[in-house]
Amino acid sequence: MKTIFSPDHELHRSPGELILGEFSEAFEKPERAQLILDRVEDVKLGPVLPPEAFSLEQITRIHTPGMVDCLKTAHAEWLASDRSGAAYPYTWPARGMRTDRVPREIDGKLGFYSFDCGTPITATSWQAIKSSADVALTGAKLINEGESAVFSLCRPPGHHASTSQFGGYCFLNNAAIATQKLLDDGAKRIAILDVDYHHGNGTQDIFYNRDDVLFISLHGDPDQEFPYMLGFADEFGLGKGEGYNLNFPLPWGTTWDKWSAALDVGLKRIIKFSPDIVVVSLGVDTYKKDPISQFKLEHEHFSAMGEKVKTLGKPTLFVMEGGYAVAEIGINAVNVLTGFEG
């Protein structure tokens, strides 16, 4: 399997995040991508290729121009307002407030286009964010050219980002952008399988009204876990999209037997949908030693996960999402890929 990777991911480095009431070291850090790449090379998964640079139009198929512009210019505006360090939002449009206009000042704008305070923008973040989307788009292009599976080693991750809000360490929704390209290039139906520990709220929201994209997510119950306000079992899609969204919220402590039973149900739904292509939002924060997560998957379960996805028999694009047990992130992520390859 080919891997798409860009060293530009290093240009995004969060100075820290607010956790348990304290400003602490960020979990989403550059070492993650490097260790996954090291493992790809160690097991000789296949060639590692750089991304192609795609036009911004491919990104604005999913995200609003205003949001994209904010990601690009926020840090310069931050500095121009006499700040230093990374740009952090701190206030958001609450119920009853105006969302029909974009605030003029940087603090208002950051709040308008985000939904949490854990996703700061540095001077060089945009280049990393754009490269991550290009990594996903290049993977999509290779699938279109006939590859049966590609690994887009994206960083920063994407599945929490919606059409117009970044958050949860995510800026652009790489999996959604790749999915739209696959459709634009001729696919009729795409299934997105999100196995990250956290609900892919951005991806769900982006495709919630559509029947050409089936979104399936297994994740920590939002009654217990981030993002708390989406990802429940009664969210089935709306309008044309009704029946094309399926969530499996699972409790803290979930082990492979329960997790894989839910996956089997999700896979059955995918088979019934008969997609042309499967996009996997590949987070490995379901691992038992993940520092911010509460599932109990072990190394071998990631291989078994890949084997199960393989049974779909569809061209498959793997898009890297979360996973914060950094020392073992390479083993877990690449086990899914080698499990898939058999």
Q: Are residues 3 and 46 in contact, defined by beta-carbon separation less than 8 angstroms?
A: yes
* Contact residue for ligand Q9C among 151, 169, 244, 259 (CB under 6 A): 169
- Concerning whether 160 is annotated as a catalytic residue, the answer is yes
Residue 216's DSSP bridge partners are: 193, 246
| 321 touches ligand Q9C (CB under 6 A) | yes
| 283 touches Zn ion (CB under 5 A) | yes
Looking at the Cβ atoms of 135 and 143, the one nearer to Zn ion is: 135
Question: Dihedral sign, CA of 162, 168, 173, 176?
Answer: negative
Minimum distance between the CB of residue 301 and Zn ion, rounded to whole angstroms? Answer: 16
Q: How far apart are CA 231 and CA 68, in angstroms?
A: 25
Residue 211 CB contacts under 8 Å (≥ 6 apart), including other chains: 237, 240, 241, 243, 244
Q: What region, left, alpha or beta, does residue 313 occupy, with left being phi > 0 and alpha being psi -120 to 50 degrees?
A: left
Looking at the Cβ atoms of 143 and 154, the one nearer to ligand Q9C is: 154
Looking at the Cβ atoms of 170 and 331, the one nearer to Zn ion is: 170
* Contact residue for Zn ion among 116, 205, 235, 285 (CB under 5 A): 285
* Contact residue for ligand Q9C among 226, 287, 302, 340 (CB under 6 A): 226
Alpha helices in the chain (DSSP H): 31-42, 56-59, 65-80, 106-112, 125-144, 174-184, 201-207, 256-273, 299-310, 326-341
| 198 touches Zn ion (CB under 5 A) | yes
List the single partner that 49 binds among ligand Q9C, Zn ion, none, CB under 5 to 8 Å by kind: none
| 220 touches ligand Q9C (CB under 6 A) | no
Residue 83 CB contacts under 8 Å (≥ 6 apart), including other chains: 106
Which of 79-87, 166-174, 178-186, 260-268 is the region at the interface with ligand Q9C (rule: CB under 6 A)? 166-174
Give catalytic residues, as residue numbers.
Answer: 160
Positions in the binding site for ligand Q9C (CB under 6 A): 19, 118, 157, 160, 168-170, 196, 198, 226, 283, 285, 292, 321-322
